[in-house]
Chains A and B, each alone.
Chain A
Amino acid sequence: MLNMFFRGPLQLGIAQAAVTALAAMIVVLLARSRNIHLESDLALALLRGAVQIVAVGSILGILLRSPRWTGGLLLAAMILAAGTISRRRAKGLPAAFEISTYAIACGAGSVIAVMTLLGVIDTAITSLIPIGSMLIANAMNTNGLTLNRFRADVIAHTGEIETALALGAAPKQSVAPYSEASFEASLIPAIDSLRSLGIVWIPGVMAGMLLSGASPFYAAIYQFVVVAMIFTASGLTSLVSTLLIQTHAFTPAEQLVIRPGLAIQ
Chain B
Amino acid sequence: MIAPGEASHNDVILATEHLSRVVGGVTLVNDVSVEIHTRELVAVVGPSGSGKSSFLRLLNRLDEPTSGTVTFEGLDYRLIPPRELRRKIGMVTQRAYLFPGSVADNISFGPRQRGEEMPPDEIDGLLVHVGLPGFSDRNVANLSGGEAQRVSLARALANSPTVLLLDEPTSALDQEAKIGIESLIEKIVQQSQLTCVLVTHDFEQASRVADRVMVFQAGRVLRVGSATEVLHA
**8 Å CB contacts to B: which residues of A160-174?**
160, 162-170, 173
B64 and A168 contacting across the interface, CB-CB below 8 Å: no
In the complex, residue of chain A having the shortest beta-carbon distance to the beta carbon of B61: A253
B93 and A163 contacting across the interface, CB-CB below 8 Å: yes
Asked whether A251 is an interface residue with its Cβ less than 8 Å from the other chain, the reply is yes
Measured between beta carbons, the chain B residues less than 8 angstroms from A166 are 60, 62, 86, 90-91, 93, 156
Measured between beta carbons, the chain B residues less than 8 angstroms from A169 are 83, 109, 113
Query: Max chain A CB contacts within 10 Å: which of B62, B93, B156?
Result: B62
Measured between beta carbons, the chain A residues less than 8 angstroms from B155 are 167
Measured between beta carbons, the chain B residues less than 8 angstroms from A160 are 97, 99
- How far in angstroms is the closest Cβ of chain B from A161? 9
Given contacts A253-B82, A254-B83, is CB(A164)–CB(B109) below 8 Å? yes
Provide the bound-state CA to CA distance between A162 and B113, in Å. Answer: 14
Asked whether A127 is an interface residue with its Cβ less than 8 Å from the other chain, the reply is no
Provide the bound-state CA to CA distance between A263 and B114, in Å. Answer: 31
Asked whether A92 is an interface residue with its Cβ less than 8 Å from the other chain, the reply is no
Measured between beta carbons, the chain B residues less than 8 angstroms from A168 are 83-84, 86-87, 110, 113-114, 159
- How far in angstroms is the closest Cβ of chain A from B208? 26
- How far in angstroms is the closest Cβ of chain B from A261? 10
Asked whether B63 is an interface residue with its Cβ less than 8 Å from the other chain, the reply is yes
In the complex, residue of chain A having the shortest beta-carbon distance to the beta carbon of B57: A162
Given contacts A162-B62, A251-B64, A253-B61, is CB(A167)–CB(B159) below 8 Å? yes
A167 and B97 contacting across the interface, CB-CB below 8 Å: no
Measured between beta carbons, the chain A residues less than 8 angstroms from B233 are none
B156 and A159 contacting across the interface, CB-CB below 8 Å: no
Given contacts A162-B62, A253-B82, A255-B62, is CB(A167)–CB(B23) below 8 Å? no
Measured between beta carbons, the chain B residues less than 8 angstroms from A173 are 113
Residue numbers of B with Cβ under 8 A of A are 23-24, 60-64, 78, 82-84, 86-87, 90-91, 93, 95, 97, 99, 109-110, 113-114, 155-156, 159
Q: A166-B62, A170-B83, A253-B82 are in contact. List 8 more A-B contacts (CB 8 A).
A: A163-B93, A167-B110, A167-B159, A168-B84, A254-B83, A255-B63, A263-B23, A263-B24
Residue numbers of A with Cβ under 8 A of B are 159-160, 162-170, 173, 251, 253-256, 262-263
27 A-B residue pairs with CB within 8 Å: A159-B93, A159-B97, A162-B62, A163-B91, A163-B93, A164-B109, A165-B82, A166-B60, A166-B62, A166-B86, A166-B91, A166-B156, A167-B110, A167-B113, A167-B159, A168-B83, A168-B84, A168-B87, A168-B113, A173-B113, A251-B64, A253-B61, A253-B64, A253-B78, A254-B83, A255-B61, A255-B62
